[in-house]
Amino acid sequence: MSQARQALPSVAVIALLIAVWWAVVVATGSAIFPTPWQVVTGTVELIEDGTLWEHIGASLLRVTTGFLLAVAIAVPLGLWMGWVRGAFKTLNPIFQMLRPISPIAWIPIAILWFGVGNASPIYLIFISSVFPMIVQTTSGVHTIERRYLWAAENFGVTRSTLFSQVVIPAVLPQIIVGMRIGLGVAWLVVVAAEMIALRSGLGYLIIDSRNAGNRYDLVIAGMIIIGLIGLMLDGVMRLLEGIPSVRWRYAHQD
Amino acid sequence: MRTKIEVRDVKKGFVSDKGPLQVVDGVSFTVGDGEFVAIVGPSGCGKSTLMNIIAGFIRPDQGSVAIDGAERSQPSAKGILISQQGSVFPWLTVRENLMFGLDGHARREKAELADHYAAIVGLKGFEKSYPHQLSGGMVKRVELARALVVKPEILFMDEPFSALDALTNLRMRGELLRILSEERHTVLLITHDVEEAVHLADRVLVLSARPAKIQASFEVGLPHPRKLTSPEVQELRVAILHDLGAERPESEADAAPAARVASPAGLDADVVIVGGGPAGAILGAYLARAGVDHTILDKAVHPRPHVGESLLCATTRVFQEIGFLETIERGSFVRKHGALWTHFAEERPVALPFRPIPHLGIEQPWSWHVDRSRFDDALLRHAASQGSRVLEGAQVERVELDDDGRAVGVLVREGEGRRLVRARIVVDATGRGTLLGRQLRLKRTDPSFRQFAVHGWFEGVDRGEADTAEWIHLHVLPGPRAWAWQIPISAGVTSVGIVCESDAFPKAGHDLHRFFSEAVASSPALAPRMAGARPLHALQREGNYSYAMDRLAGDGWLLVGDAARFVDPLFSSGLSVAAESARAAAAAIRSALADGDVSAGAFEGYQRQLRTGLDAWREFIGLYYRLPRAFLSLLADPADRELLREVLQGDVYQGGSFPGVGRLRAEIARVEADPAHPWRAELDENAAKSLVSA
């Protein structure tokens, strides 16, 4: 009940936006810009001929592959950099320099190295999401409170226990935050990458719809679907914050 | 007894911004096998550093620590450290935490051992819970169990229970003693709490202020369980406190707050006073000097901030009677030699220099301005030194009444639960918290005085003419019932506050600073004083809603101080009401206990006496607001000033007719009766109404 009530204002604003959109299109008599209803029929068209699922599947596959690769590299590397001071001092300046370079700037090099197949966007996604996760993991290790490390030292536990029961669980909430950021960036980047090189994916859908006959109803349908999937992906990552052993770090909800 | 721990001439310093800082300066002592040694010292004296060195986490600059004769350079599971913050892993369940330090066992065995120790500390059923699902006391039990499960030879406890509420702290002590009686460990405890040390330890070492050195050692040759109210324990406590305080007699306000604690068993008393502010503390001191068994429960841990910073001359008698005057004089509070009024439409200020009050035995013509956090703390500590049992951090939920409405004690929060502290008489000294007023619905707010105050401490306030610079200055402002105070707190710090009607007051979120500056600017006297003022902290705001109570006492209960009534603080009456009501309550309680009658009837005299004073204040304030200018004109007249002096110096509790109040009433009646009087337009209708309803 209260959730429904909380959602009410934003639903109202969306409805208002759609109404204004509709009214403006009708009032100006635009031949190209679609009405909301045309977007709906366009979407139905995409669903019926099955291309929508192909595009979504292609985009998600690329994001998943690139993102998981980034996780596999970033988490161990971040832990190592956080724990070993020399590693941090050596690698951190390099990563800090690479981090602010927009993934879009990597596109020409990605095409040069990996061609126009799936490898290019996967590489771009990897590049864009690996740095935030390294940074979060490293700072997670650095911010482990001394009292916990002292307690581990006090009980004289083995190195493997120290890592598996203290360091990694202590950093896990930060890693999850890094993953949320990383996946968000990855989804942004996949669409941009697909607009340039590929013949499948939601980014391609948008560019292709425009180029092949000014189908702006499909452009907008693609945009809305990208937004919705982005929201879903973030929702999936947020589920990770509900794992019992990381709840201590987030707001207490019990 | 075999030596377990030997600390030899340990020294440790740190490099800080202000240069090298010696923290531990040559500490040596030994702890026998199975012995419980407590180290007490003032806060920030280097105790924790010493503990971290002994436990092996920090290396000393000089000296050494040997365990069982072997020098120690790093921590080991032989001695487990339990610190104030605690180090229970929040990402592991209770069971996983307890299994953490166990190795060389099969997983099943570990889990069984963990559950066994969880049960020992009373956490059966919580094995799968995460720490954030437990209360503070329960997490502490997890930490204790996690240490015990590895069967350490030594427990290093650094303020282990300090972060807990008072009653959970006491309960944890009991648990620790019970466990130690079953499993023998050597324990080294560091605490600022002298009574905790005496309660638990075989031997107490006293550390000096930083750099820490051992300055005394006390054997506690008393068997367990120890009764904390016993004369032996109290004697030892006082002796240790004396040693602790001997280092710094000049600043009693900073001495260890540990001076006041009580045991759960010792909480029940003839009289329980809820609230350790001035009213509660003064009553405690009176009762202690009369030998009445009582306990003071305070929810705050002193020192704590409080507004209301000026005293009145007549109150000095109370401080004389409870032996507190010397402490005030030593406390370097600013002497208040008088009061000065300015009016926004008048050129000249009006002054009231204070005079002695011989019939009350008050010879000095001054009172004091006090920083309430320091003053209230010193007062509560004075009560403790007189023999009051004081428990800080005790949340009283309500007064427990029997079926006939007689107060039989109070319910105190203890961890997740409640504990009943029994008493024959309950005194509500909770100030504006008005515990009983709310519980029994006695409270009537005064419809005409719904005021707010915005105030703060400032540096660089120009206090005006040298001879009145250290007086209280009261500035009448143009708004309805608006005025400002200017109180010198110390040589450089001045408290300035604006009081006004709540209607005129900025609502939540509005700009307090703008309101404050505009109010200051509206006073031609105050504005130039504040030209170079710098605030020392953000402005504070609070409601000053005046209220009265239907009754001030009942069967087994009394109200004192602000809990009995709150009036506009215009005439600095707050501490006066607190002190005088406590004085009267002490007398009433003594005779009630002596007669064995604690019913409402026994407190009739108290109610009457207190009402006389309170009503005088109330009427005087109402008259003042009716026409501030009439008050100021009387004060400017030498003969009328002497009539007003009695009230303005706070001498209103002895009964009588208060000729000053009558004079002001007559003066206002004269203005009201004269249609041509120039001040007629200034008559405050609201204030008149309030007089009727009072």
Neighbours of B523 (CB within 10 A): 23
How distant is the Cα of B28 from the closest Cα of chain A, in angstroms?
A: 23
Is A248 in contact with B101 (Cβ distance < 8 A)?
A: no
Is A245 in contact with B130 (Cβ distance < 8 A)?
A: yes
Model pLDDT, residue B658:
83
CA distances from B122 to B117, B197, B515, B603 (A): 9, 24, 55, 45
- Full DSSP string of B229-272: TSHHHHHHHHHHHHHHHTT-TT-GGGS-GGG----STTT-EEEE
Q: Is A172's Cβ below 8 Å from some Cβ in B?
A: yes
How distant is the Cα of A169 from the closest Cα of chain B, in angstroms?
A: 6
Q: Is A153's Cβ below 8 Å from some Cβ in B?
A: yes
Chain B residues close to A172, C-beta within 8 Å: 91
pLDDT band for B507, please (50, 70, 90 cuts): low
Is residue B15 a contact partner of residue B27, using CB atoms and an 8 Å limit?
no
Work out the mean pLDDT of chain A and round it to a whole number.
89
Is B131 in contact with A248 (Cβ distance < 8 A)?
A: yes
Chain B residues close to A248, C-beta within 8 Å: 90-91, 130-132
Chain A residues close to B90, C-beta within 8 Å: 248-249
- Is the residue at A254 inside a domain? no
- Is the residue at A36 inside a domain? no
CA distances from A53 to A116, A200, A218 (A): 21, 11, 14
Model pLDDT, residue B248:
36
CATH of the domain spanning B451-543:
3.30.9.100
For B457, list phi and psi in degrees, rounded to 5: -100, 140
Q: Is B250's Cβ below 8 Å from some Cβ in A?
A: no
Look at A41-45, A122-126, B578-582, B688-692 and tell me which has the smallest mean pLDDT. Answer: B688-692
Interval B39-70: pLDDT, tens: 998 777 788 899 999 999 999 999 999 999 99
Q: Is B89's Cβ below 8 Å from some Cβ in A?
A: yes
How distant is the Cα of B149 from the closest Cα of chain A, in angstroms?
A: 11
In the block, residue with structure tokens 């501030």: B628
Chain B residues close to A153, C-beta within 8 Å: 57, 74-75
Highest mean pLDDT among B16-20, B413-417, B586-590: B586-590
Task: Select the more confidently predicted residue: B510 or B312.
Answer: B312
The DSSP letter of residue B39 is E
Q: What angle do CA A216, A220, A225 make, to 5 degrees?
A: 145
B8: β partners: B64
pLDDT band for A2, please (50, 70, 90 cuts): low
In the block, residue with structure tokens 């300090």: B162
Q: How many residues does chain A have?
A: 254
Average pLDDT over residues B452-477: 89
- Is the residue at A212 inside a domain? yes
Chain A residues close to B150, C-beta within 8 Å: 155
The Cα B253–Cα B239 span in angstroms is 19
Residue among A143, A150, A155 with most chain B CBs within 10 A, to mutate: A155
Phi-psi region of B485 (alpha: psi -120 to 50; beta: other; left: phi over 0): beta
Is B77 in contact with A247 (Cβ distance < 8 A)?
A: no
Domain boundaries, chain B: 3-259, 271-333+370-446+546-693, 451-543
Q: How many CB pairs under 8 A join A and B?
A: 65
Cα B156 to chain centroid distance, Å, stands at 31
Is A157 in contact with B103 (Cβ distance < 8 A)?
A: yes
Model pLDDT, residue A69:
96
Question: Is the pLDDT assigned to residue B652 strictly greater than 90?
Answer: no
Interval B299-348: pLDDT, tens: 877 667 777 788 998 899 999 999 998 888 887 788 999 999 999 988 88
Question: Is the pLDDT assigned to residue B399 strictly greater than 60?
Answer: yes
Return the CATH number at A158.
1.10.3720.10
Is A153 in contact with B96 (Cβ distance < 8 A)?
A: no
Percent of chain B with pLDDT over 70: 94
How distant is the Cα of A219 from the closest Cα of chain B, in angstroms?
A: 45
Q: Is B97's Cβ below 8 Å from some Cβ in A?
A: no
Is residue B405 a contact partner of residue B555, using CB atoms and an 8 Å limit?
yes
Model pLDDT, residue A93:
93
Q: Is B148's Cβ below 8 Å from some Cβ in A?
A: no
Model pLDDT, residue B508:
57
Is A165 in contact with B96 (Cβ distance < 8 A)?
A: yes
Interval B167-176: pLDDT, tens: 778 888 888 9
Chain A residues close to B148, C-beta within 8 Å: none
How distant is the Cα of B100 from the closest Cα of chain A, in angstroms?
A: 8
Option in B55, B77, B133 nearest A254 (CB): B133
- Is the residue at A197 inside a domain? yes
Residue among B91, B144, B159 with most chain A CBs within 10 A, to mutate: B91
Q: Is A156's Cβ below 8 Å from some Cβ in B?
A: yes
The Cα B338–Cα B473 span in angstroms is 9
The Cα A175–Cα A160 span in angstroms is 19
Tokens representing A166? Answer: 């203290």
pLDDT band for B260, please (50, 70, 90 cuts): very low
Question: Is the pLDDT assigned to residue B249 strictly greater than 60?
Answer: no
Chain B residues close to A169, C-beta within 8 Å: 89, 91-92
Average pLDDT over residues B100-104: 85
- Closest residue in B to A145 (Cα) is B87
Q: How many domains does chain A have?
A: 1
Q: Is A147's Cβ below 8 Å from some Cβ in B?
A: yes
Chain B residues close to A170, C-beta within 8 Å: 89, 91
Is A248 in contact with B132 (Cβ distance < 8 A)?
A: yes
The Cα B547–Cα B563 span in angstroms is 10
Residues 108-137 of B with CB under 8 A from A: 130-133
The Cα B280–Cα B430 span in angstroms is 8
CA-nearest of A29, A197, A45, A200 to A123 is A197
Task: Select the more confidently predicted residue: B507 or A185.
Answer: A185
Chain A residues close to B74, C-beta within 8 Å: 153
- Is the residue at A32 inside a domain? no
Model pLDDT, residue B691:
42
Chain A residues close to B131, C-beta within 8 Å: 248
Over its C-alpha atoms, chain B yields an Rg (Å, rounded) of: 29
How distant is the Cα of A189 from the closest Cα of chain B, in angstroms?
A: 34
Interval B411-441: pLDDT, tens: 888 766 778 888 999 999 999 889 999 899 8
Non-local CB neighbours of B94 within 8 Å, separated by 6+ positions: B118, B123, B126, B127, B128, B129, B130, B131, B134, B142
Model pLDDT, residue A142:
93
pLDDT band for A254, please (50, 70, 90 cuts): very low
Is A151 in contact with B55 (Cβ distance < 8 A)?
A: no
Neighbours of B248 (CB within 10 A): 13
Average pLDDT over residues B573-595: 92
The Cα B552–Cα B395 span in angstroms is 22
Neighbours of B589 (CB within 10 A): 27
Neighbours of A213 (CB within 10 A): 9
Cα B534 to chain centroid distance, Å, stands at 28
pLDDT band for B266, please (50, 70, 90 cuts): low
- Full DSSP string of B168-193: HHHHHHHHHHHHHHHS--EEEEEES-
Option in B90, B101, B132 nearest A155 (CB): B101
Q: Is B55's Cβ below 8 Å from some Cβ in A?
A: yes
- Is the residue at A244 inside a domain? yes
For B443, list phi and psi in degrees, rounded to 5: -85, 130
Q: Is A155's Cβ below 8 Å from some Cβ in B?
A: yes
Tokens representing B512? Answer: 């307090």
- Closest residue in A to B131 (Cα) is A248
- Is the residue at A19 inside a domain? no
Kindly report the three-state secondary structure assignment for every residue of B309-350.
Answer: CECCHHHHHHHHHCCCHHHHHHCCCEEECEEEEEECCCCCCE
In the block, residue with structure tokens 């001092």: A89
Highest mean pLDDT among A87-91, B265-269, B360-364, B380-384: A87-91
How distant is the Cα of B163 from the closest Cα of chain A, in angstroms?
A: 16
Q: Is B57's Cβ below 8 Å from some Cβ in A?
A: yes
Task: Select the more confidently predicted residue: B24 or B692.
Answer: B24
Question: Is the pLDDT assigned to residue B509 strictly greater than 70?
Answer: no
- Closest residue in B to A153 (Cα) is B75
How distant is the Cα of A33 from the closest Cα of chain B, in angstroms?
A: 45
CATH architecture designation of domain B271-333+370-446+546-693: 3-Layer(bba) Sandwich (3.50)
Cα B229 to chain centroid distance, Å, stands at 22
pLDDT band for A68, please (50, 70, 90 cuts): very high
Is residue B421 a contact partner of residue B399, using CB atoms and an 8 Å limit?
no
pLDDT band for B693, please (50, 70, 90 cuts): very low
What angle in degrees, to the nearest 10, is found between the helix axes of B604-626 and B574-595? 170
Look at A225-239, B69-83, B458-472, B648-662 and tell me which has the smallest mean pLDDT. Answer: B648-662
- Is the residue at A126 inside a domain? yes
The DSSP letter of residue A217 is H
CATH level 3 topology of B3-259: Rossmann fold (3.40.50)
In the block, residue with structure tokens 């007549």: B314
The Cα B431–Cα B278 span in angstroms is 9
Average pLDDT over residues B581-590: 94
Q: Is A254's Cβ below 8 Å from some Cβ in B?
A: yes
Work out the mean pLDDT of chain B and round it to a whole number.
85
How distant is the Cα of B420 from the closest Cα of chain A, in angstroms?
A: 29
Option in B87, B91, B133 nearest A151 (CB): B87
Residue type, B677: H
The Cα B402–Cα B526 span in angstroms is 54
Domain ranges, residue A124: 55-248
Look at B65-74, B339-348, B529-538, B678-687 and tell me which has the smallest mean pLDDT. Answer: B678-687
Interval B183-239: pLDDT, tens: 889 999 999 888 899 999 999 999 887 788 888 888 888 888 887 777 788 778 878
Interval B353-377: pLDDT, tens: 999 888 888 888 899 999 888 899 8
Task: Select the more confidently predicted residue: B490 or B155.
Answer: B155
Option in B81, B85, B90 nearest A248 (CB): B90
Question: Is the pLDDT assigned to residue B505 strictly greater than 80?
Answer: no
For B642, list phi and psi in degrees, rounded to 5: -65, -30
Q: Which helix (H) or strand (E) holds B94?
A: helix B94-100
CA-nearest of A118, A138, A95, A97 to A194 is A118
Reduce the DSSP state of residue B211 to 3 states and report it. coil
How distant is the Cα of B59 from the closest Cα of chain A, in angstroms?
A: 14
